[in-house]
Structure 1
Amino acid sequence: MKKRQTIRNAHLLGLFKDYGLVAISVLVVLLATLYPYNFSFPDSFSLEEIVNSFSNTSSFQDTVNNILLFLPLGFFCTSLLQKYRAKLGLEILIVILASASLSTIVEILQVFVPGRRPTPEDIINNSIGGFVGWLCFNWLLSRSFAYILARIENNSSRRVNQRIAAFCLGYILLSSLNLVFWQSTTHLSNWNSNYPLIIGNEATGDRPWQGYISKVYITDQAISAIEAAQIFTDKDYFKNYRDSLLAAYKLDTGSKYYYRDKSGNLPRLLWRGQPVDTQENKGALLSSSNWLETADAVKKLNKRISNTSEFTISTTVATSDINQTGPARIVSISHDPLRRNFTLGQQGTALNLRLRTPITGENGGDVQLSIPNIFIDKQPHHLIITYSRPIIQVYVDNLQNYYSLNLLDLIPIAHKVFYYSLNFIPLGIYLALLSLLVKNNRVIHRLLIFLGILLPSLMLEAFLVSTYSKEISLRNILIGIFFTATTALMLKTRARILVKKVV
């Protein structure tokens, strides 16, 4: 009786401790995401306004931080649930729902906290963080997980071949999800429709560019080299685009106070600061005291380009200073220095490009896009920038002066390792469980391990090379193999230890 009471007291003490740790995890999340709690609630607001405020995206650093922030919550929730002996599927569901629910509450509250920007990606990343916490607990401490591994290890069911087939199919489907993820990384679907078009600065006025700009054309289609050659020779070529043409501002003619969009799609460009006279041969003179900005957000342009994930920008510019930095903004579709859809800028003599995609972040700066020695003089230069995911092509003055940048080849190694770990660690876990099912057949077991480790990484690289014209990378293949093999080996080793304890 005394022993039962001791066990019961220990169980209650364990529950109390787990509830406390879950509460502390929640408090840490609230502190990290809402401090200093300077909420500002308007007299009236609508559900539509709240939904519209979720148009931001996360940077790479935010993605990492959001996953790590919710890992303890998932870890301690799992510990608590296993004391109640919840079933495996229900356990996973509760952990993910708890993480997603807390994240949703936090993101909604951030709408009313100045300086905070809610994003739907944060909810996804926080949910992933909770699931990673579940994995870590089961991997390191869970005894119930040992029983699951033992049942798989000692599976003698007549239906084992059917289960192996089902697991193999699941592994192929899970591998295919990698392709879906990487296919979405270079879309422009995360463009914010509420950003204006700005010429010569940011809306905040703190990234000025000094120089002349004579015209700006923007379409929602990428162009070929043949079309680029025609644009260089025919100044009225964009009249042929019609439906595809989104903006046509001629800044070498027009009013002293504003410029109309000749395509009829966008608002007028208005002078900010002191208006200046247009010079017929050079265009509009821009400086730190005067720049141009559309009267309203260029919503039609942002939405059309977001849908097509393609665009072409043609402009003629002449810098007044070859040492401008910032980068100094020449053409920008942005909200402030930290949030943009696209920016064409000058960084010394280099042409600097920032493009918002899921892998380049909200500021478009997570992947560096720079072309040297473009602004080495103060003469006018005709620039054509075209994007068809994931390729950015830049023509300067003629077809021969040509540059091509592939976003997927320029992802920093730290970012790539992180994204590959998210993709291939689940494959390693799944492969380890699958190998336990076929352990009694050595030939199939060895073949399965070899193919399971090698194929997903090769499939992904072959897909990226064939679909996006990127260069084949042995390093990418080895990174995928490393995460799959290491995870599978670690889990199999852990499984053997746990199974021996259970048996």
Structure 2
Amino acid sequence: MNRFPISAQTFNRLIVIISIVSVLLATLYPFNFSIPDSFSLPEFFANFNNASNFQDQVNNFLLFMPLGFGFTRLLQKRRIKTGVQVFIVTLVSAGLSFTVEVLQIFLPSRMPTPSDIINNSIGGFLGFICFYLWNSQSFKQTVAQIENSKASRSIKQIIVFCIGYIFLTFLISLLWQNTINLSNWDASYPLLIGNEQTRDRPWQGYMSEVYIADRAISKNEIAQGLADSSYLNNLGNSLIANYQFKGKCCYKEQTGQLPELLWQGQPSDAQEGKGVFLSSSHWLQTATPVKTLSQRISKTSEFTLSTTLATTNLEQFGPARIISISGTSLRRNLTLGQQGNNLDFRLRTPITGENGADFTLNIPNIFTDTNPHHIIITYSKATLQVYVDNLHNLYSLNLLELMPKNQRIFYYALTFIPLGFGLTILTLLAKRRLILSNFLIYGGILIPSLILEGILVSESGKNLSLKTLLLGMLFTGGTMVILRVRAAQLKMRS
């Protein structure tokens, strides 16, 4: 016999305390805090300009689920209403996450990320859901409350819930749109030609000019630019960068909007018709960050990059950095690189991460000789288009279509499982109306997938995909079926 029994309330508190301690250990260890000599409010907000990669996002959800589960268990024992429980659990998760992110500012080994607060809050909410699925008594009571509520007796209130369900679908679809924009570009990065700031990704070859605009230029403009690169000077206010590599040093930006490019290492003379020679011993970097460029492209979420270059080594890997707007070898806005014979492109968006390496944007067989090639790259609405020398040599890539399978499944689960919960509530409310209930079941499973796929096809340029359409339906319908089956089983037992 246990001489020191632990009460249920004490046990619940222990679960919450252990969960909080686990979060603090996982996010703040080794606790090597350091306070900067000067610290201002703008610097405080600047520290939050970071993004999580896919693996970090998964870890954030999993890390806060035990906290949500334990806190819900504690609140349920106090007989607090379900709606209030949801609010408290989400608020506690967000509060703890915000505290951790602020403390990470003072940890050299950590980087605070605003999206982590959202992910951690969702993780806490998922812990709440897991508790109710695990606790049969709480689940059964919640189902009974929904079925016997006043809303279940009012067709008008059921219709209002249906409208809310459709509105939530549109809202989630718009959030998907934000995952492929360039709003998370960091304005503190310089422009580098031929290497990274870390000096460990050199490229060897020639380059004669670089143009960058804050919009995706038209096909007609691309044709004229490929025929004569000086045509790009006619882009007017859209043109942000125009560097011409002539002479020895240094290379001023022709529009006057960006800092000049300075040699790192020994300066190299430009050769007629080839431009400057870049290698591991000499490359170019702007004197200060290209703040104007990053901010303007961040606002438009479009750009055009044009350059004429020639590699002198067909066996360069890393990828070897040709043009890069980056802070380190792991953090960038964009990078154009050589990976053997292939052209490697990395682009920072909320969905590709701060290194831009979560998706493979690779153009094959570009570096098969050492001749000069004129490359024009445009980006707009998730579509990256790469032209090499002429209009017919075109490669088109869509970020949403290149999303890795495991990442797509994860994001679709986050999108449609909550909708499955909403659909379950709707069908329970309409249980007394058989025709309406059946319509809600089939329509509620199909409509969200159609809305999301339709918006992505029309606004992001991706192709219509039956697989992704069915994947959304599977998560929505599967969630509803699991919840309805469990509710039926509990009712039969009672």
What TM-score do you get using the length of structure 1 for normalisation? 0.95
Question: Matched residues in 2 for 1:96 and 1:232: separation?
Answer: 54
Residues 1:117 and 2:142 are matched in the alignment: no
1:155-166 aligned at under 5 Å gives the runs 155=149, 159-166=153-160
Partner of 1:39: 33
1:189-200 aligned at under 5 Å gives the runs 189-200=183-194
Q: Is the Cα contact below 8 Å between 1:186 and 1:359 reproduced in 2?
A: yes
Residues 1:365 and 2:335 are matched in the alignment: no
Q: Give 1:212 shift.
A: 0.6
Which runs of structure 1 show a deviation greater than 3 angstroms over 4 or more consecutive aligned residues? 154-159, 497-501
What letter matches 1:399 in structure 2?
L
Partner of 1:261: 253
Change (3 A) 1:482 1:158: closer
Question: Matched residues in 1 for 2:81 and 2:182: separation?
Answer: 41
1:159-198 aligned at under 5 Å gives the runs 159-198=153-192
Change (3 A) 1:499 1:433: farther
Query: What runs of 5+ residues in structure 2 fail to find an aligned partner?
Result: none
Q: Give 1:469 shift.
A: 2.4
Question: Matched residues in 2 for 1:219 and 1:75: separation?
Answer: 49
Partner of 2:384: 392
Deviations 1:389-421 (Å, cap 9, x if unpaired)?
111111101111111111111111111100000
Q: Is the Cα contact below 8 Å between 1:147 and 1:499 reproduced in 2?
A: no
What letter matches 1:211 in structure 2?
G
Q: Is the Cα contact below 8 Å between 1:149 and 1:499 reproduced in 2?
A: no
Q: Give 1:142 shift.
A: 5.6
Question: Matched residues in 2 for 1:342 and 1:367: separation?
Answer: 13
Question: Matched residues in 2 for 1:373 and 1:307: separation?
Answer: 33
Q: Is the Cα contact below 8 Å between 1:420 and 1:480 reproduced in 2?
A: yes
SS in 1 for 2:400: helix
Partner of 2:393: 401
SS in 1 for 2:106: coil
Question: Matched residues in 1 for 2:136 and 2:37: separation?
Answer: 50
Q: Give 1:446 shift.
A: 1.5
Question: Matched residues in 2 for 1:233 and 1:287: separation?
Answer: 28
Question: Matched residues in 1 for 2:285 and 2:417: separation?
Answer: 47
Q: Is the Cα contact below 8 Å between 1:150 and 1:499 reproduced in 2?
A: no
What TM-score do you get using the length of structure 2 for normalisation? 0.96
Q: Tell me which of 436, 453, 464 is aligned to 2:456.
A: 464
What letter matches 2:273 in structure 1?
N
Note the aligned Cα RMSD (angstroms): 1.6
1:281-320 aligned at under 5 Å gives the runs 281-320=273-312
Residues 1:137 and 2:131 are matched in the alignment: yes
Question: Matched residues in 1 for 2:461 and 2:259: separation?
Answer: 37
Q: Give 1:486 shift.
A: 0.8
Question: Matched residues in 1 for 2:489 and 2:42: separation?
Answer: 54
Question: Matched residues in 1 for 2:373 and 2:152: separation?
Answer: 74
Q: Give 1:83 shift.
A: 1.2
Residues 1:152 and 2:136 are matched in the alignment: no
Number of residue equivalences: 491
Residues 1:483 and 2:475 are matched in the alignment: yes
Question: Matched residues in 1 for 2:469 and 2:208: separation?
Answer: 47
Question: Matched residues in 1 for 2:50 and 2:194: separation?
Answer: 24
SS in 2 for 1:37: coil
Partner of 2:434: 442
Q: Give 1:152 shift.
A: 2.0
Residues 1:229 and 2:223 are matched in the alignment: yes
Q: Give 1:156 shift.
A: 6.8
Q: Is the Cα contact below 8 Å between 2:177 and 2:460 reproduced in 1?
A: no
Deviations 1:114-164 (Å, cap 9, x if unpaired)?
121111011111111111111111121163342221122244778421221
Question: Matched residues in 1 for 2:288 and 2:38: separation?
Answer: 23
What letter matches 2:93 in structure 1?
S
Q: Is the Cα contact below 8 Å between 1:60 and 1:366 reproduced in 2?
A: yes
Which has the larger displacement, 438-447 or 102-111?
Answer: 438-447
SS in 2 for 1:76: helix
Q: Is the Cα contact below 8 Å between 2:209 and 2:242 reproduced in 1?
A: yes
Q: Give 1:378 shift.
A: 0.4
Change (3 A) 1:125 1:158: closer
